[in-house]
Amino acid sequence: MTLSDVLPGRAIASRIRIGRLPPAGAVIPGLFLVLLILAAIEPRLFTAANPLAIAPREAFQPPGPAHLFGTDQSGRDIFTRVIYGARQSLLLGVGAITVSMSLAITLGVIGGLGGRITQRAVGWTLDVLFSFPTLILALLFASHLGNGIGPLIIATGIGNVPGYARMVLGQVVSARHAGYVEAARALGHSPARIIRRHILPNAMRPLIVTVTMGIGQAIVWSSALSFLGLGAKPPAAEWGTMLSMGRDFVQRAWWMTFFPGLFIVLTTLSTTMFGRYLQRRLEGRLP
Amino acid sequence: MTSLNRRRRPARATTLLASVGLASLATTILPAFGADEPVKGGTLIYATDREPTCLDPHVDGDMPQVFIAQQYTDSLVSQDKDGKIGPWLAKSWTVSDDGKTYTFKLRDDVKFTNGEKFNAAALKANLDHIKNPATQSSTAGGYIQQYVKTETPDEFTAVVTLSKPYAAFLEVLAQGFLGIEAPSALARPRNENCETPVGTGPFKIIKWDRQSQIVLERNPDYNSAPPTAAHQGPAYLDQIIWKFIPEPSVRFASLASGDVDVIETVPPESEADAEKNPDLTLIIADRPGNPTNGAINTTRAPFDDIRVREAFVRSADISSALDSVFFGRYKRAPGPLSAATPFATPDFKNLYDYDPDRANALLDEAGWTEKDANGIRQKDGKPLTVHVPIGDFQGPAERSLWEQIQATAIGTGFDVQLEPLGFSEWLDRQATWNYDIIPEYWNTNTADVLRIVLSSEFLGAAGSGGYHQNASGFKNAEFDALVNKALETQDPEARRKLYYDAQKIVASNFLQVLTFPQSTRLGVYKTAKGVRLEPSLSVTTLYDAWVQK
Amino acid sequence: MSSVTVAAGPAAGLLSRSRIGSAGRRVLSRVLAAVLVLFASATVTFFALHLTPGDPVRAVLGGPTANPSPATIAATIAEFGLDQPPHVQYGLYMSRLASGNLGMSFSQRQPVIDVIAAQVGPTLQLMASAIVVAWVLALASVMATTRRHPLLQGLGSALETISAALPQFWLALVLLAIFAFGLRWFPPQGNQGALSLVLPTLALALPLAGFLAQVTRESLELALDQPFILSARTRGLSEGAVRWRHALRHAVLPGISLSAWAVGSLIGNAVLVEVIFSRQGLGRVLYQAVTRQDMPLTIGVTLLVTLVYILASAAADLLFVLVDPRLKAHRS
């Protein structure tokens, strides 16, 4: 019996259980993510072909036994490219979230733990940055930093900092005023110890969920940038780039846009569902 | 028809009735099937892929601008499909013996659409406007750098003085980039004239809705059609809507459904569909000038060695690549001048044939004999790398083409590295000579393009920010002499010989990896007729067009 | 801990202060903050663009067939003010901005204000319809399926989650392929008429609807568990009345707060949709301006975007206060 069962109105998926395993709403996405991570680490487990190898005679093949997801205008195998794209996308997603979170936590903690002035200053800085929609901030940085994965990670990461930083700020501030901190102070613990053992862990725990779901979002943003031509340039095996390459052939070769897009959707769905599962489990644990 | 068959048996009167009926049936059906008689009136919707930056062709000067300029301006002279210069706004002209002074006799019956009269003073205003640095004229200004001044001894005579003899002067004057505009319009601030320029042409600009469309209307008083046009007098169309649809698939879909009447730049992947579609026609013509090519940087290794250059040209299987990327619809360029250019010769085409054996032999001779694990040749430990910056503005087809060249070149040991870049970065690399091959082209109606693209005059003027039109870095005194001499004579046969020798030098120095000639490719829906490409630059002209809707 | 609590922060603070007394002060401080934000926005953009490699003069005059004379290039540099050192340019630029002059766009050869005025309409139209449609869809899904038959609930929740996971640019391509090219129900491009607005709006609205619905659903569930709902039911109110007249006001609060953020993300995604559907709009203009290093235009559009975001934030906060029944009770 868990919190999920007590609180009514949860999605069916969270109710389907097999013995003591987590619900289907967590297992299926979890499994997909595991496969994705495997594909990212060792794509050759899934495909032996080269994602960049061209074969002009096999251009525009529809999905079939030889090419599971079909081929593109230069005969490249789309399935192979989607698999290798997993590596790019996960790298982008994890990298961008790392960049976002590092900056966000830094700003949020400084702001949350500091005095009123610091808090105000940080809050105001975040307001300024927050007024730049993510994509625009990322656009500016992407064109400034040039091409490639590194700049794309930084651009997407920076683009999402304001939102996350505000969240961290909020969490740190409320943790700071929470009951258990009052208790610890009454017990005479040093501020450093209170911060290290009470405020920070409690502030950060909810972020686990945000990070999980944020990876999916970061993948979408970086794909959007690549789609616009600012990130990984063609013929890179990156899902957004593949969508951009396929958009001229939407009628002739629908598979060129369908499969990379499908994988972006599935990845985002998986991270979201898995994140929500984590959220519910964590809520079950919080006092 | 069955009813007519039944009527065949009865009396003669009914047969007469039948034939009258048949005749009237014919006269109603036939026009619907596309009679040859132009119909006055109607609106034609034209969709192009790129929006011009300014409607005044004197400013900047990119291809979208000359396309729109062709509809609302006339040029001083015309050029037919054989390259011969004919009259237009200028009735006749004489050239001084030293080639530096041109005396034009102008038409006296032409008015701009704002009522101003076209005369020698107007011509002077135009030429001065193009030359003026504040106009920011990249193309037109570049073509008349030799221009000094215009004198107007009487109202319809203009005496134009150049600093040097320039046989290509009349040729460039035939281009829409140097279209004649009203002096009072030119006198306005540049950016204002960009919005609402005024010409003498068959149509006039009414409104420019940025990112959406330009609206043009017929000039009812038009009387200055060139001899190359299909008719004289005002245009047939009431109105043209010039739309911008950058997405290729969307543009073609709009044509196929009849939402637009004509599109420019039919996507290569849709040309086969267009041919199969009975409602569509394709109008395709090569443009004159230097074809699309990869200019080889001769100023640094490895291509400072002519053997390596030849080896690379021989390693690229251009024909197969073109067939694959453009679905067999684009043909190889015959030489540094596309076939539509005056004085072009195909005699050196074979120097560019795919010949991997010869390539391998040359590379061995040049000392690139070591090979690494991937088959890339090396010399003194350095790999045979070829850096090719490709701008994202150059289009996916161009990129695919180079991917295929990359694939064949690796067979002879070249490591071709394609570097996709944004526009600014690409320009940067170009300006700093930081490339081994750079894709480029030059559309123009004169063989003088050889001088622009390959003579030492264009290696980067001081103050040009490093930008150089001669992307190969070619510096050859004999070639320079030839192309400059060709400007000093008006005699076409002399020019033909000089340009022949010049093309020979270019071909045998392997300065460019020639791919395909630039072309204008229009898709026309069944409702539009009489759409033509004018002969000088193969630019769309809607002057003779009419619609049947 | 979800983002709900944090987003409600600024408005929740209103509960603790006397609203009428400090209203004037708050408005003033917001205006001041807005001005500072705009100033900072312009500064960040200026330096971000300035540090980009490349040369805007060459971008305007250059290209594959350009042959400008050195005099032309010099005149252009002078006209753009690029012959000055960066800090001087910055100073000149800021002083002009302060007097309301947004300058001349390098690449479009028009005053920046004219470019923006011509293009802002279609973008605002697209964003407004996207927000409206998103809310309509979200409310429809949430109100119809929350706490009803478990199968219905599961379906609603699943649809919302899937919608929220769809990337806008992929959805746009799919809609284009099926409804514009395939079924020919809607035009594949265009700026006029309601029909040409349908597909772009849907591409933006569906993912946003999914997101808003998820947040609102959670909130509605919490609201329906509250004691006052029980008392409303015991008073004999129908299920519909309970939901619509009482629970709804509580449920939409987090969605309203998030709408401000949603506006920001819509602007960003409008770039993608405008490009795919060849629509007029600021998104495309901004993208072109950035790639051509058109400083005045980029700054102009960024400022406008910032302004829109600030206004949306303020509107969301205001709406929050108006809708929040707790505050209403506080007032009476």
Which of the two residues, C8 and B264, has the higher pLDDT score? B264
A191, two tokens? 């501020």
Q: What are the pLDDT digits (tens) for B35-45?
A: 578 899 999 99
The answer to whether the CB atoms of C67 and B143 lie below 8 A apart is yes
pLDDT of residue B505: 94
Four-CA torsion A117, A118, A121, A122, nearest 10 degrees: -150
Q: Comparing A197 with C105, which gets the higher pLDDT?
A: C105
What pLDDT does residue A144 have?
Answer: 62
In B, which residues are within 8 Å of A234 by CB distance?
396, 399, 420
CA B69 to chain A, closest CA, distance in angstroms equals 29
Band (B195; pLDDT cuts 50, 70, 90)? very high
In B, minimum Cα distance to C111 occurs at B191
Rounded distance between C-alpha atoms, residue B173 and residue B183, angstroms = 17
In percent, the amount of chain B with pLDDT more than 90 equals 71
Report chain C residues whose CB lies below 8 A from the CB of A242: none
Q: Give the H or E element holding residue B7.
A: helix B2-7
CA-nearest residue to C311 within chain A is A131
Under an 8 A CB cutoff, do C280 and B440 touch?
A: no
Region C257-265: what's the mean pLDDT? 79
Using the Cβ of B238 and the Cβ atoms of chain A, whether some distance falls under 8 Å is answered with no
Best of B67, B212, B434 to disrupt the C interface (most C CBs within 10 Å) is B212
Strand, coil or helix: A132: coil
Say whether B249 and A250 touch across the interface (CB within 8 A): yes
Q: B288 contacts in C (CB within 8 Å)?
A: none
Interface test with C, best of B250, B251, B390, B421 (most C CBs within 10 A): B250
Q: Worst-scoring range by mean pLDDT, A278-282, B326-330, B366-370, B498-502?
A: A278-282
For C160, residues 6+ apart whose C-beta sits below 8 A from its C-beta are: C138, C141, C142, C209, C210, C213, C214, C217
> Which of C45, C159, C173 is the mutation pick for testing A, counting most A CBs within 10 A?
C173
Q: Which two tokens stand for residue B357?
A: 């054996």
CB within 8 Å: A249 and B249: yes
DSSP-derived 3-state class of residue B275: helix
Q: Residue A134's pLDDT is what?
A: 66
Judging contacts by C-beta atoms under 8 Å, the chain C residues touching residue A13 are 154, 158
Residues A128-152: what's their mean pLDDT? 68
Cα separation, B423 vs A114, in Å, equals 45
Contacts of C207 in chain A (CB under 8 A): none
Residue with tokens 């036939």: B30
How far is residue B305's CA from residue B299's CA, in Å, rounded to a whole number? 9
For residue C4, the model assigns a pLDDT of 37
pLDDT exceeds 50 at position B124:
yes
Q: Do B269 and A233 touch (CB under 8 A)?
A: no
The token duo for A63 is 């999905």
Question: What share of chain A has pLDDT > 70, as a percent?
Answer: 84
Instruction: Choose the closest CB to C167 out of A163, A206, A261.
Output: A261
pLDDT-derived band at B15 (thresholds 50, 70, 90) equals: low
Taking the Cβ of residue B427 and every Cβ of chain A, the question of whether any pair is shorter than 8 Å is answered with no
Query: What gap in Å lies between CA B343 and CA B491, rounded to an integer?
Result: 12
Question: Average pLDDT of chain B?
Answer: 89
Would you say residue A233 has pLDDT above 80?
no
The C-alpha R_g of chain C, in whole angstroms, comes to 24
Q: How far apart are CA C227 and CA A207, in angstroms?
A: 31
**Residue C170 to residue C183: CA distance in whole angstroms:** 18
pLDDT at A66 over 90: no
Q: Which residue from B minimizes the CA distance to A59?
A: B324
B421 touching A, CB under 8 A?
A: yes
**Could C68 and B137 be called an inter-chain contact, meaning their C-beta atoms sit closer than 8 Å?**
yes
- B392 CB-side CA count, 13 A: 25
CA atoms within 13 A on the CB side of A235: 26
Residue B31 has pLDDT above 70, yes or no: no
Dmax of chain B from CA atoms? 102
Least Cα distance to B107 among B157, B72, B60 occurs for: B157
Other Cβ atoms within 10 Å of C236 Cβ, number: 7
Residue B272 at interface with chain A, using a CB cutoff of 8 Å: no
Smallest Cα–Cα separation from C146: which of C41, C239, C79, C65? C239
A chain contacts of residue B407, beta-carbon cutoff 8 Å: 54
User: How confident is the model at residue B6, as a pLDDT?
Assistant: 42
3-state DSSP assignment of residue B379? strand
Q: Which residue has the higher pLDDT, C271 or B34?
A: C271
Is pLDDT larger for residue B21 or for residue B125?
B125
Per-residue pLDDT tens over the stretch C110-169: 889 989 998 898 999 999 999 999 999 999 888 888 777 888 888 888 898 889 889 898
What is the reported pLDDT for B477? Answer: 94
Q: What is the mean pLDDT of residues B497-509?
A: 94
What is the DSSP annotation of B324-366?
HHTTT------SSS-TTSTT---TTGGGGS--HHHHHHHHHHT
Angle (CA) B278-B283-B284 rounded to 5° is 130
Q: pTM of the full predicted structure?
A: 0.83
CB-nearest to C41 from A131, A240, A251 is A131
Nearest CA in chain B to C109: B191
* Residue B364: predicted pLDDT: 92
Q: Is A254 on the interface with B (CB under 8 A)?
A: no
Name residue C78's amino acid.
A
* Rounded average pLDDT over C66-93: 83
Q: What is the dihedral of CA A67, A70, A76, A78, to 10 degrees?
A: -90
Are B260 and B46 a contacting pair, CB within 8 Å? yes
Please answer whether residues B459 and B470 qualify as being in contact, where contact means their C-beta atoms are separated by less than 8 angstroms. Answer: yes
pLDDT 10s digits, B318-358 = 998 898 888 888 989 989 999 999 999 999 988 889 999 99
* Residues of chain A positioned with their CB less than 8 A from the CB of B324: 56-57, 59, 74
| Contact in structure between B443 and C65 (CB atoms under 8 Å) | yes
CA-CA-CA-CA dihedral for B50, B56, B61, B65, to nearest 10: 30
Q: Do C76 and B253 touch (CB under 8 A)?
A: no
Q: State pLDDT tens for residues A4-37.
A: 333 333 444 455 555 556 676 788 888 998 999 9
pLDDT at B35: 55
DSSP readout, B407-450?
HHHGGGT-EEEEEEE-HHHHHHHHHTT--SEEEEEEE-SSTTHH
Those residues with Cβ within 8 angstroms of residue B462's Cβ, 6 or more apart along the chain or in another chain: C70
The nearest alpha carbon in chain A to C157 belongs to A11
State the nearest Cα–Cα gap between B212 and chain A, in angstroms. 20
Q: For residue range A160-189, what is the model confidence (pLDDT) as tens digits?
A: 787 788 778 777 777 777 777 778 778 877
Residue B120 is inside which H or E element, if any? helix B120-131
Q: Which residue of A has its CA nearest to B407?
A: A54
What average pLDDT does the segment B305-314 reach? 94
* Interface contact A54, partner B, CB < 8 A: yes
Is the CB of residue B345 less than 8 Å away from at least one CB of chain A?
A: no
Rounded to the nearest 10 degrees, how much is the dihedral formed by the CA atoms of B501, B505, B510, B516?
-20
A106 vs chain B: nearest CA distance in angstroms?
33
Amino acid of residue C201: T
- Give the residue-averaged pLDDT of B231-244: 95
pLDDT for B14: 52
Checking if the pLDDT of B74 tops 90, the result is: yes
pLDDT at B12: 52
Average pLDDT estimate for C55-65: 71
Angle made by CA atoms C103, C64, B301, in degrees to the nearest 5: 120
Element holding B152 (H helix, E strand): strand B147-154
Judged on CB neighbours under 10 Å (0-12, 13-18, 19+), A41 is exposed
Chain-chain contact of A136 with C286 (C-beta, under 8 angstroms): yes
Question: Inter-chain contact B209–C69, Cβ cutoff 8 Å?
Answer: no
- Whether C71 shows a pLDDT value over 90: the answer reads no
Going by pLDDT thresholds of 50, 70 and 90, the confidence category of residue B201 is very high
Task: Give B249→chain A minimum CA distance, Å.
Answer: 5
Amino acid at B408: T
- Chain B stretch 474-533, residues whose beta carbon is closer than 8 A to a beta carbon of chain C: none
**How far is it between the farthest Cα atoms of chain A?**
77
Beta-bridge partners for B216: B205, B240
What separation in angstroms does the CA of A114 have from each of A177, A203, C9?
A: 13, 15, 18
**How many C-beta atoms lie closer than 10 Å to residue A235's C-beta?**
23
Compute the average pLDDT of residues B150-177.
95
- At C176, is the secondary structure helix, strand, or coil? helix
Q: What is the pLDDT of residue B290?
A: 94
Q: Which residues contact B6 (CB under 8 A, 6 or more apart)?
A: none
Least confident of B276-285, B335-344, B447-456, C88-97: C88-97
In this predicted structure, the answer to whether residue B19 has a pLDDT above a threshold of 60 is: no
Average pLDDT over every residue of B264-290: 92
The continuous run of DSSP H or E covering B170 comes out as helix B169-173
> And the tokens for B397?
């087809």
Q: Please name the residue of chain C whose CA is at the shortest distance from the CA of residue B424.
A: C54
Cα–Cα distance, B47 to B261 (Å, whole number):
8
Q: Is the CB of residue B134 less than 8 Å away from at least one CB of chain C?
A: yes
Contact yes or no for C271 and A228 at CB 8 A: yes
Residue with the bigger pLDDT between B258 and C59: it is B258
Alpha-carbon gap, residue A151 to A157, rounded angstroms: 10
Cβ(C266)–Cβ(C208) below 8 Å: yes
Q: What is the pLDDT of residues B465-494, one digit of tens each?
A: 677 889 999 999 999 999 999 999 889 999
The beta-carbon neighbor of B403 closest among A235, A248, A251 is A235
Q: How many CB atoms are located within 10 Å of the residue A90 CB?
A: 19
Question: Does the pLDDT at position C11 exceed 50?
Answer: no
How many whole angstroms separate alpha carbon B132 and alpha carbon A100?
A: 51
